[in-house]
């Protein structure tokens, strides 16, 4: 594992030269987000060391790549929501080899000791007009990605639900999570010389996560019922 202190330097916020290009309010907002993200990642890294020594570092390395710097604020905000690092990595895995390798290993490991392996609802890429033109290899990659997102989310159902849903009169999916996933999907398609309107990608990712949430809620409900029956 790389030196965490060096890795987390990228979360110190905008450089002085960048500050001149934004208002004081924008600068303070970015600094606050950067500090919150850094604290959460350090917290997550400490947890990660207990089982695979990699999760937070992969996120930091992803953001340190110049081609990913435009995602800094989005990733920072998702991290600040306390979304499990493994789910963030599963999102990044579509475009990041380190993240993809980590997710593959995580899913091969099966359920942690003392936990049952959960049943997963099938998530299918919709054969709508929007995606009919996708090459089969691209469609298969997206299909596998959505399935992996679902499987990783089921590794920690209660916490995932608690962090990706907003609280209030009506539960809603985190807009930041949907937006980050849509940007990752956009970047993947761009690597394959494919372009879609962002709203199409955002709507698709919203549907994917709605399916994941429904599956997680069903799992939690069924397991609560089993606990009460014992």
Q: Which of 129, 140, 125 is CA-nearest to residue 192?
A: 140
Taking Cα atoms as reference points, which of 182, 170, 183 lies closest to residue 209?
A: 182
How is the chain split into domains, by residue range? 1-80, 115-230
Short-list 96, 106, 23, 13, CA closest to 59:
96
The H or E element that residue 134 is part of is: none
pLDDT the model gives residue 164:
93
Q: 115-118: long-range contacts (C-beta < 8 A, 24 or more apart)? A: 118/154, 118/157, 118/219
Measure the CA–CA gap between 50 and 30, rounded to whole angstroms. 31
Q: Which two tokens stand for residue 28?
A: 């303070």
Distance CA 230, CA 224 (A): 10
| pLDDT tens track, the chain, 230 positions | 344 444 444 444 444 444 445 566 665 666 666 666 666 665 655 554 444 446 778 888 888 888 888 898 888 888 888 888 899 999 999 999 999 999 999 888 765 433 444 455 455 545 456 777 889 999 899 989 999 999 999 988 989 999 999 866 678 899 999 999 999 999 999 999 999 999 999 999 999 999 999 989 988 888 777 767 76
Ranges of H-type helices in the chain: 4-7, 16-19, 24-48, 55-64, 72-80, 85-92, 97-108, 136-153, 157-164, 175-191, 198-229
DSSP-derived letter for residue 166 is E
């Amino acid at each position: 594992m790389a030196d965490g202190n060096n890795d987390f330097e990228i979360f110190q916020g905008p450089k002085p030269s960048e500050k001149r290009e934004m208002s004081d309010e924008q600068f303070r907002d970015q600094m606050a987000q950067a500090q919150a993200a850094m604290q959460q990642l350090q917290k997550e890294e400490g947890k990660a060391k207990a089982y695979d020594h990699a999760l937070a570092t992969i996120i930091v390395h992803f953001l340190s790549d110049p081609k990913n710097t435009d995602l800094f604020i989005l990733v920072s905000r998702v991290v600040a929501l306390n979304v499990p690092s493994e789910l963030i990595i599963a999102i990044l895995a579509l475009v990041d080899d380190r993240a993809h390798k980590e997710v593959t290993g995580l899913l091969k490991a099966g359920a942690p000791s003392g936990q049952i392996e959960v049943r997963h609802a099938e998530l299918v890429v919709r054969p709508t007009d929007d995606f009919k033109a996708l090459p089969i290899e691209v469609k298969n990659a997206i299909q596998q990605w959505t399935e992996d997102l679902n499987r990783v989310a089921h590794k920690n159902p209660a916490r995932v639900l608690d962090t990706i849903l907003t609280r209030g009169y009506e539960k809603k999916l985190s807009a930041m999570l949907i937006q980050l996933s849509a940007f990752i999907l956009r970047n993947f398609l761009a690597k394959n010389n494919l372009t879609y309107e962002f709203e199409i990608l955002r709507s698709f990712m919203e549907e994917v996560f709605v399916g994941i949430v429904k599956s997680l809620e069903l799992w939690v409900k069924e397991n609560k019922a089993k606990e009460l029956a014992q």
